[in-house]
């Protein structure tokens, strides 16, 4: 079954406009998910909203958004009022600013989406915008309404398409000096540096998605598979829990540890 686009609208740069569609660049669908059950009945547990004063269940059609202005006092906003906020940026990504890619640090990047033409007629305009940014190593800055919030977004050329990143709000990014300011000014030991560089060289590999696999998910799938098998055929003996790996001992002498590491890497590479 084809995946439906997350958002459809228009990409605009001055008088150049083309229809585009946006898809999430990441997915969590493959993660192991659980339902909460009643241990005694094995039935699923359901959740619902209740009135905090009367204790009665609130029907979905009676739910409404409210902004708290005081104790037990709220300003109610209807769905149509929320949907009518920032109408221009809800349907059009109008690139208003360009900036060098290397001036935007990773900490500002939030969620990635794939942006592509939504109509063959608009492919030429899309390609012109994409290639012009790529030729100057620039990214576009715009705004877009996502889930009723207007977000600043960055458009980055990537191959035949464009990656759209939502950007974090200014008050969401903490000042690194608050956390790094207390680190001392000590410089690296000149004798240790070659050993570290040697380790880095020996352990350097090209990036591979297998470097970020989730062993916990694999273990959960193994447990689930074992339980499925046990339901079909009663087990005669209780499975033993694998022993946990011994905790590594603390290394006091960094130089000795580096020399041992380099020696181990050298033996492994032979």
For the beta carbon of residue 48, count every other beta carbon within 10 angstroms: 8
Q: Which residues contact 111 (CB under 8 A, 6 or more apart)?
A: 24, 26, 165, 166
Q: Do 25 and 7 contact (CB within 8 A), yes or no?
A: no
Angle, alpha carbons 148-29-139 (nearest 5°): 55
Separation of alpha carbons 258 and 204, rounded Å: 16
Give how far Cα 225 sits from Cα of 31, 186, 215, 218, Å.
15, 52, 15, 11
pTM over 0.85? The answer is no
pLDDT of residue 98: 95
- Give average pLDDT by consecutive 10-residue segment, the chain, 270 residues: 80 90 84 84 88 90 86 82 63 92 93 93 92 94 84 94 93 88 81 84 84 75 79 60 53 65 69
pLDDT at 189: 79
Radius of gyration of the chain (CA): 27
The answer to whether the beta carbons of residues 9 and 94 sit under 8 Å apart is: no
pLDDT in the model for residue 10: 92
Q: How far apart are CA 135 and CA 37, in angstroms?
A: 56
pLDDT value at residue 91: 86
Residues paired with 112 in a beta bridge: 165
Tokens of 198: 């040697």
Q: What are residue 144's phi and psi, to 5 degrees?
A: -155, 135
């Amino acid at each position: 079954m084809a995946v439906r686009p997350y958002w459809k609208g228009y990409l605009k740069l001055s008088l150049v406009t083309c229809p585009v569609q946006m898809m999430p660049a990441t997915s969590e669908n493959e993660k192991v998910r659980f339902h909460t059950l009643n241990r005694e009945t094995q039935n699923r547990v359901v959740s619902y909203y209740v009135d905090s004063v009367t204790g009665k269940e609130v029907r979905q059609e009676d739910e409404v958004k409210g902004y708290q202005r005081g104790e037990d006092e709220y300003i109610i906003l209807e769905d149509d009022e929320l949907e009518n906020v920032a109408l221009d940026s809800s349907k059009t990504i109008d690139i208003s600013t360009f900036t060098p890619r290397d001036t935007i640090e990773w900490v500002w990047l939030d969620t990635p989406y794939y942006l592509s033409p939504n109509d063959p007629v608009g492919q030429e305009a899309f390609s012109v915008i994409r290639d012009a940014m790529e030729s100057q190593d620039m990214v576009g800055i715009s705004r877009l309404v996502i889930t009723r919030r207007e977000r600043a977004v960055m458009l980055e050329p990537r191959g035949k398409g464009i990656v759209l990143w939502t950007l974090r709000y200014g008050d969401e990014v903490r000042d690194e000096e608050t956390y790094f300011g207390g680190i001392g000014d000590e410089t690296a030991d000149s004798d240790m540096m070659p050993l570290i560089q040697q380790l880095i060289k020996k352990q350097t590999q090209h990036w591979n998605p297998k470097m970020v696999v989730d062993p916990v998910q694999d273990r959960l799938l193994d447990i689930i598979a074992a339980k499925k098998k046990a339901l079909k055929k009663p087990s005669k003996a209780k499975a033993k829990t694998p022993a946990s790996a011994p905790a590594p001992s603390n290394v006091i002498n960094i130089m000795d540890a580096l020399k041992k590491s380099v020696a181990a890497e050298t033996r492994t590479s032979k």
